[in-house]
Amino acid sequence: MIILGIETSCDETAAAVVTDERKILSNEVLSQIEEHKPYGGVVPEIAARAHLNTIDTIISRAMKTAGVEFFQLDAICATGGPGLIGGVLVGVMTAKAIAAVCDIPFIGVNHLEGHALTVRLTGDEAGKQIEFPYLLLLVSGGHCQLLIVEGSGCYKRLGTTIDDALGEAFDKTAKMMGLGYPGGPMVEQHALTGDPVRFDMPRPLKGRSGCDFSFSGLKTKVRQTIESLPDGPIKEQDKSDICASFQNAAGDVLIDRCENAIDTFLSAYPNSTYLVVSGGVAANQSILGRLKTLCKTRGLSFAAPPLALCTDNAAMIAWAGIERFKKGDVDDLAFRPRPRWPLDPDAPKVTGAGIKA
């Protein structure tokens, strides 16, 4: 089975060809970083236009690299949401057009499901496929959730953010100090030479029951800390110390919330073994290290996709499409792109400013 996947939900235009035997034949990602840089964040209108300008080229490149012709495809999938609707529309309409011309099924993939199932494509350290169920920490620019992944399309949400996503907090922290965009990698880099205990940062919800997250207080404290510094440009060491203190506090919160989630997960599935982390923030080596240590102490195995597949890409969309296609779960051409699309539709609604799905 050969599937073409398309991803256009944020600031990466991506196309990939993947097989049901877990082979990535091509994985093309074109980042729009340069277009959004002057604004310090993603501008939806600019993103949609950039997707439109480049999607044909990226798809052609993915097909050429894979050595696959359109008539050889078994299905085509595109991110159908959640995300910036202008971009999602571009990907979905393009995929539908190819599906119609080639007379193959179209699958509108949930972007979060892409992140959630990537480890089943990439496998554990030995390359072996990770079986359901597993505990998933999904940390990206728009989402911060703990879920039990019971199967493709079967998710139990244990917790979510009640305000900002962690990636968003990383990005805002970077923006406040003028570190550049995207912020996560810049904060991580500065934190390497910083003092993680110099500034006293809050650990919202730490020590409380449940698995929800909150990062807006931490973000506010970063702003207050910057304002408390002497007037003038922020010194490099101060920037590094703020980044390290922020990252340390965010890590503490993640570990605390994961501890609670592990308890819930193991009481439901005592013989299960995996904690998986996915989404853009999973590229952060300090956070990965702490999660690995947590797994060791709790007797769990740890898995994360390789760095390039943590941030947005189309291989994960193609793979999530394959998992659905195998179950006969395809969409028709009347599929409507969805700006919001929770993975677990039964999860209680959380009211908060930053909820994206």
Q: Does 167 bind ligand KG4 (CB under 6 A)?
A: yes
Least separation, in Å, of the C-beta of 152 and Zn ion? 17
Q: Does 312 bind Zn ion (CB under 5 A)?
A: yes
Q: Does 14 bind ligand KG4 (CB under 6 A)?
A: no
Q: Does 163 bind Zn ion (CB under 5 A)?
A: no
Q: What CA–CA distance (Å, rounded) separates 173 from 10?
A: 20
Least separation, in Å, of the C-beta of 313 and Zn ion? 9
Q: Does 140 bind Zn ion (CB under 5 A)?
A: yes
Q: What CA–CA distance (Å, rounded) separates 333 from 336?
A: 8
Taking CB under 5 A as the binding criterion, the range among 137-145, 207-215, 233-241, 288-296 that sits at the site for Zn ion is: 137-145
Q: Does 168 bind Zn ion (CB under 5 A)?
A: no
Q: Which is nearer to ligand KG4, 73 or 164 (CB)?
A: 164
The listed partner (ligand KG4, Zn ion, none) that binds 317, CB under 5 to 8 Å by sort, is none
**Whose CA is closest to 259, among 133, 116, 135, 130?**
135
Least separation, in Å, of the C-beta of 188 and ligand KG4? 4
Q: By rule CB under 5 A, what string of x and - marks binding of each residue 267-306 to Zn ion?
A: ----------------------------------------
Q: Which is nearer to ligand KG4, 59 or 316 (CB)?
A: 316
Q: Does 305 bind ligand KG4 (CB under 6 A)?
A: no
The listed partner (ligand KG4, Zn ion, none) that binds 105, CB under 5 to 8 Å by sort, is none
Q: Does 202 bind ligand KG4 (CB under 6 A)?
A: no
Q: Does 284 bind ligand KG4 (CB under 6 A)?
A: yes
- Strands ordered across the beta sheet of 24-31: 24-31, 12-19, 2-7, 75-81, 106-110
Q: Does 312 bind ligand KG4 (CB under 6 A)?
A: yes
The listed partner (Zn ion, ligand KG4, none) that binds 48, CB under 5 to 8 Å by sort, is none
Taking CB under 5 A as the binding criterion, the range among 58-66, 71-79, 134-142, 341-349 that sits at the site for Zn ion is: 134-142
Q: State which of positions 256-275 bind ligand KG4 (CB under 6 A).
A: none
- Residue ranges that bind Zn ion, judged by CB under 5 A: 140, 312
- Residue ranges that bind ligand KG4, judged by CB under 6 A: 10, 140-142, 167-168, 170-171, 182-185, 188, 279-281, 283-284, 311-312
